[in-house]
Chain A
Amino acid sequence: MEIVKRPHVENFIAWAEDKPEVVVLTADLTNSSEVGKWRDTYPDRFFGMSMAEQNVMGFAAGLAREGYVPFIHTFAVFIYRRPYDQLAMSIAYPNLPVKFIAFLPGITTPGGVTHQAIEDVAIMRATPNMTILETGDATEVESVLDIAYAIDGPVYVRMLRGEVPRLFPKDEPMQLDKVRVLSEGDDVVVVTSGITTEEAMRAARPLADAGIGMKHLHVSTHKPFNDPVILESIEASRYGVVTLENHTIIGGLGSAVAEKMADAGSGKRLLRLGLRDTYAHGASRPHLMKEYGLDAAALVAGVEELTGSSTGITEEDLASSRVEATHSLAKAEGL
C-alpha cells in the first residue's frame, strides 16, 4: 500500500491555480492545516485571521456573498463547536458557498478531548443546507476539492493530513453520494468511512478465509445520504449490517444507516461500532482505535456477533493482512 505524504499540500495549490475566486481563511493553524505553502504561493488570496473563529465565519460569509469561495482551514472542533451559531446563521442559513476543511476528525489526534471531533458529523447532519464529505485516503483528499467546489452551498469536509494511505486508485475520484463497493459477499454488509475503511479492508481477507462473505461499502458522503446501494445491500445480506465510524455512534454514519433502514421498514439487524457515547483522551491513534473499538479486531468481533459464530481470526491474522489499493466494484456494476 502506497503511503502519500501530505497529499493536500501540493494538490490544493495546483487545483486552486486557475480559480482566482478561491480564498483561504485560517484561524492561526495555517501549517497545521497544511496551507502554509498555499499561503506563500497565493499570498493575495490568503487571510490568516487569528484565533477568532466566530469572526472567521462572518468574514467568510461576507466574502462568499461577494463572489469568493472561501475555504476555511482549521481543526474540525474549532469549526463546529466554538462558532456554531455563526456557522449556522451567517453561513448555513443563507446557503453560502463556504467550504470547511476540517482537520483531525475523531480520534486521529493525540491532542485529546479538546482536539478530537467526535460528534461533528452528527451536528453537521442536523444543520440544514450543509453537505458533509469525509476523506478516507489520498485519492479522496485529492478529489474532494472538486466535489466541494461544485456544490453551491456550504460543505463540511472531514480532512486527513500528514501520511495518508492510498486505498483507491488515483483515477477513481470521490463521487458525491456514491458509495464505493470494496468487496462483495452475501453474509454481512460492512459500512465504513474515513480511517475506518482501511481497518475493514484489513479484515476482508481473514474474514473471507473464515468463510464470511462481507460486502464492504465505503461512504465518503454523509449528507446527502441517498445511494440506493446501501439499503439494497443490507436487504440482500444474510445477517445484516455493521457500521464502523471514527465518531460517536449517535448521529453519525451508524445513525444515518439506521434512519434509512427504519424509513424502509427493514427487518435486518444493525450493529453500530464507534465511540459509545463517550469522549476520548490524548493517546496515539492505534491505541485509541483499539481502546474504543474502531479497529479491524473490533469489526471482526462485530461480524461474529451478527453472525453468531466465531471466526477464529486472531490479532496476528489482522496485523499481517496486507491492504492494497482497491478498485471500486461499483464501477464495474455501473458499466
Chain B
Amino acid sequence: MTTPDTAADWRPETQAVADRIRTRVLDHVLRSNGGYMSQALSSAEIFAMLYTRTLRLGPSTAPMIPRPFSGVPGPNNPEFFNGGDYNGPKASDLDRFIFSPAHYALVLYTALIETGRLAEEGLDQFNQDGTTVEMIGAEHSPGVETTTGSLAQALSQAAGIALARKRRGDTGDVWVMMSDGEFQEGQIWEAISEAAKYELDNLKVIVDVNGQQCDGCIDPSIYVDPLTNRIRAFGASAVEVDGHDLDALDAAMSAQTGKPHFVMALTDPARGLPIFAERAPLLHYLRFTSEEERDRYQQVYEEMVN
C-alpha cells in the first residue's frame, strides 16, 4: 500500500513527462511541417503513466542513439535486433510492453526520450531513410517488440506471450497500449474471448479512447459506452477513466481483477493544444494549410515551453 505522501511524489514528474511529450511532438510537427499530433495530445498521460509509474521495467539495454536499419528478420540475417530492448531486459518479475497502434510511434519515441531511454537526437532520425525510427514502426524500431502496424494484431500476440508467461510462472504482466479504432477489427473480439477463456489475468490493456480514426470521428454512440460493456460481455474486465487524470489512471491501471483487464482512458484529442480542436473532426494527421496557420501553432508552442 502506497502512503499518501509517497503517492504525492510521483505525480509532478509523471505530469511533467506528459507535458514534455506534447511539446516535443508539437515541436517536431512544426519542424517537419506535419505529423501525428492528436495521438500525442490524447495519449501523453497514458505513455507517461506507463513509463514512469505502471510498467515494471529494467533499464534500457539498447543504445541511446538508435541503430540504423540492418535488414529484416530472417534466417540469413544475424544482424537483426529487436527494438523491445529499449524497454529493458526480459525477466520473470518484469512487465512486457506491447505497443499496438503503430501510428503512435512518434509518441512512443518521445516517451522514451522523456524517460531517459532514448537520446533526443534520436528523433532527428524520424522518418529518415535508412533509420529504424520509422513513421509507423516495426519491431526494429525503438520500444517496439512486435510488428503491429497492421492494426489490431497486437492483442492476440500479447495474449500468446501472457499465456506462455503464465505457464512459466512469471509474475510480470504483459501490458498492451491500444487505440479505440482497433476495436472495429474482429480479431480483437476473438482475442478477448480467448484471453478470458484462458484466464489471462496477467494481460493488461490501456486504451486511448480518443474517438479518432483516419476518416475522422469514431461514432461515439457505437464506440464508447457500448465498447466498454462489450468488452465486459466478452469476459474481460473493463473500467472507464478520465485519460488525463493521473490518479484515476493509476487506480484503474493497478487494479487486479482476476481477468484480462482493460483500462478505457477517455481522452481529448486536442488536450493541451486548444487551437488544434478547430480542425475537428479531421484530427488524425496535422498538416499546416498555410504559413499563417503554422505561425499560430509556433506561437502557441513558444507559450507552452516558456
Chain A residue numbers with a CB within 8 Å of B159 are 55, 58-59, 62
Is A61's CB under 8 angstroms from B73's CB? no
Is B193's CB under 8 angstroms from A62's CB? no
Partner of A62, one of B150, B158, B168: B158
- Indicate whether A58 sits within 8 Å of B75 (C-beta atoms), given known contacts A49-B194, A63-B163, A66-B168: no
Q: Contact mask A41-68 → B, CB, 8 Å, 1/0?
A: 0000001011010111111111111111
Chain A residue numbers with a CB within 8 Å of B72 are 93, 128
Q: How far is the CB of A266 from chain B (nearest CB, A)?
A: 27
A85 interface contact, C-beta 8 A: yes
Q: How far is the CB of B224 from chain A (nearest CB, A)?
A: 24
Is A153's CB under 8 angstroms from B75's CB? yes
Partner of B194, one of A52, A63, A86: A52
Q: How far is the CB of B194 from chain A (nearest CB, A)?
A: 6
A246 interface contact, C-beta 8 A: no
Count CB-based A-B contacts (< 8 Å).
104
Partner of B147, one of A60, A94, A152: A94
Q: How far is the CB of B61 from chain A (nearest CB, A)?
A: 17
Within 8 A of A (CB), among B122-166: 138-139, 146-150, 153-165
Is A59's CB under 8 angstroms from B73's CB? no
B15 interface contact, C-beta 8 A: no
Partner of B153, one of A60, A63, A86: A86
Chain B residue numbers with a CB within 8 Å of A58 are 153-157, 159-160, 187, 191
CA distance A152 to B186 in the complex (A): 30
Chain A residue numbers with a CB within 8 Å of B193 are 50, 52, 55
B225 interface contact, C-beta 8 A: no
CA distance A22 to B198 in the complex (A): 18
B274 interface contact, C-beta 8 A: no
Q: How far is the CB of B195 from chain A (nearest CB, A)?
A: 9
Chain A residue numbers with a CB within 8 Å of B187 are 52, 54-55, 58, 86
Is A62's CB under 8 angstroms from B164's CB? yes
CA distance A52 to B159 in the complex (A): 14
Chain A residue numbers with a CB within 8 Å of B4 are none
Chain B residue numbers with a CB within 8 Å of A49 are 194
Is A62's CB under 8 angstroms from B157's CB? yes
- Indicate whether A63 sits within 8 Å of B164 (C-beta atoms), given known contacts A89-B150, A94-B139: yes
B245 interface contact, C-beta 8 A: no
Chain A residue numbers with a CB within 8 Å of B160 are 58-66
Q: Contact mask B71-89 → A, CB, 8 Å, 1/0?
A: 0111100000000000000
**Closest residue of B by beta carbon distance from A94:** B73
Chain A residue numbers with a CB within 8 Å of B162 are 62
A26 interface contact, C-beta 8 A: no
A90 interface contact, C-beta 8 A: yes
B242 interface contact, C-beta 8 A: no
A95 interface contact, C-beta 8 A: yes
B190 interface contact, C-beta 8 A: yes
Within 8 A of A (CB), among B160-185: 160-165, 168
CA distance A61 to B72 in the complex (A): 17
**Closest residue of B by beta carbon distance from A131:** B75
Is B155's CB under 8 angstroms from A128's CB? no
CA distance A58 to B191 in the complex (A): 9
Q: Contact mask B26-45 → A, CB, 8 Å, 1/0?
A: 00000000000000000000
Chain A residue numbers with a CB within 8 Å of B168 are 66
Q: How far is the CB of B87 from chain A (nearest CB, A)?
A: 14
Chain B residue numbers with a CB within 8 Å of A89 are 147-150, 153
CA distance A161 to B199 in the complex (A): 34
Is B161's CB under 8 angstroms from A54's CB? no
Q: How far is the CB of A144 from chain B (nearest CB, A)?
A: 19
CA distance A106 to B300 in the complex (A): 63
The residue among B73, B153, B159, B160 with the most chain A CB atoms within 10 A of its own CB is: B160
Partner of B74, one of A59, A60, A61, A129: A129
CA distance A106 to B186 in the complex (A): 28
Chain B residue numbers with a CB within 8 Å of A56 are 156
CA distance A63 to B72 in the complex (A): 21
Is B165's CB under 8 angstroms from A66's CB? yes
Q: How far is the CB of B286 from chain A (nearest CB, A)?
A: 27
The 16 sampled A-B contact pairs (Cβ below 8 Å) are: A52-B190, A54-B156, A54-B187, A58-B157, A59-B163, A63-B160, A63-B164, A66-B161, A86-B187, A89-B147, A90-B156, A93-B72, A94-B139, A94-B146, A94-B147, A129-B74
Give residues in A with beta carbon < 8 Å to B.
Answer: 47, 49-50, 52, 54-68, 85-86, 89-90, 93-95, 128-129, 151-153
Identify the 7 closest CB pairs spanning chains A and B, nearest first.
Answer: A62-B160, A58-B156, A66-B164, A55-B190, A52-B190, A59-B160, A62-B161
